[in-house]
Chain A
Amino acid sequence: MRRGAVLRRAALNGAGLLVAAFAAFPVYWMIATSLKPNREIFAATPRPVPAEPTLEHYREILTGNLIPGVTFADFFVNSALVAVSTVVLSGLVALLAATAVARFRFKLRTSFLIMLLVVQMIPLEALVIPLFLMIQRLGLYNTLPSLILTYLGFSLPFAVWMLRGFVAAVPKELEEAAAIDGASRAQTFRRILFPLVAPGLVATSTFSFITAWNELIFALTFVNDQDRYTLPVAMTFFFGRDDTAWGPVMAASTLFTLPVLVFFLLVQRRMVSGLVAGAVKG
Chain B
Amino acid sequence: MTTLTQAPETTAARETPARRRRRVDRLPYLLLLPCLVIIGVLLLWPLGQVVVMSFYRLNNVRQLRGDREWPWVGFGNYAEILGDPFFLTVLRNTVLFAVANVVLTMILGTLVGLLLNRLGRRMATFVASCVMLAWATPALTGTIVWKWLFDDTSGLVTWLFNALPDGLSEALFGRSDWTGYGWFNSPLLFFAILTLVVVWHSFPFIAVSVLAGLKSVPSELHEAARVDGAGPWKVFWKVTFPLLRPVFGILVVLSTIWDFKVFTQQFVLAGGTQDRPTFMLSIYSYAEAFSPPPKYGLGAAIAVVLTLILLLVTGIYVRMVLKQEEDS
Contacts and interface: CB of A to CB of B under 8 A. Distances in A.
Contacts of A45: 159
B12 A179 contact: yes
Given A96-B35, A182-B8, A257 B138 contact: yes
Given A29-B145, A183-B10, A216-B263, A246 B28 contact: no
B100 interface: no
Contacts, number: 326
A94 B140 contact: no
B260 interface: yes
Interface stretch (A54-62, A67-75, A112-120, A197-205): A112-120
A221 B322 CA distance: 36
Contact of B310 (A100, A123, A214): A123
A260 B250 contact: no
A114 B315 CA distance: 11
A26 B115 contact: no
B27 A256 contact: no
A236 interface: yes
Interface size class of B (residues with CB under 8 A): 35 or more
A276 B136 contact: no
Given A185-B27, A246-B154, A281-B258, A12 B118 contact: yes
Contacts of A29: 145, 148-149, 156
B65 A136 contact: yes
B49 interface: yes
Contacts of B257: 121, 123, 279
A168 interface: no
B38 A23 contact: no
Interface in B12-44: 12-13, 23-25, 27-29, 31-32, 34-36, 38-39, 41-44
Contact of A30 (B28, B145, B151): B145
A250 B143 CA distance: 11
B250 A256 contact: no
A136 B209 CA distance: 41
B296 interface: yes
Interface string B142-153: 101110110101
Contacts of B271: 240, 242
A260 B322 CA distance: 31
Given A23-B134, A97-B35, A121-B314, A131 B53 contact: no
Contact of B282 (A103, A126, A191): A126
Contacts of A178: 1, 4
Interface residues of A, number: 108
Contacts of A137: 64-66
Contact of B268 (A22, A115, A240): A240
Given A46-B154, A129-B300, A272-B209, A277 B321 contact: yes
A47 to B, nearest CB: 11
Contacts of A19: 112, 115, 127, 130-131
Interface in A122-144: 122-134, 136-137
A261 B250 CA distance: 26
B30 to A, nearest CB: 8
B136 to A, nearest CB: 4
Interface stretch (B169-177, B185-193, B199-207, B220-228): B199-207
A155 B176 CA distance: 49
A213 B138 contact: yes
A171 interface: no
A11 to B, nearest CB: 10
Given A12-B118, A27-B137, A125 B285 contact: yes
- A-B pairs, 3 with minimum CB distance: A153-B42, A126-B303, A130-B49
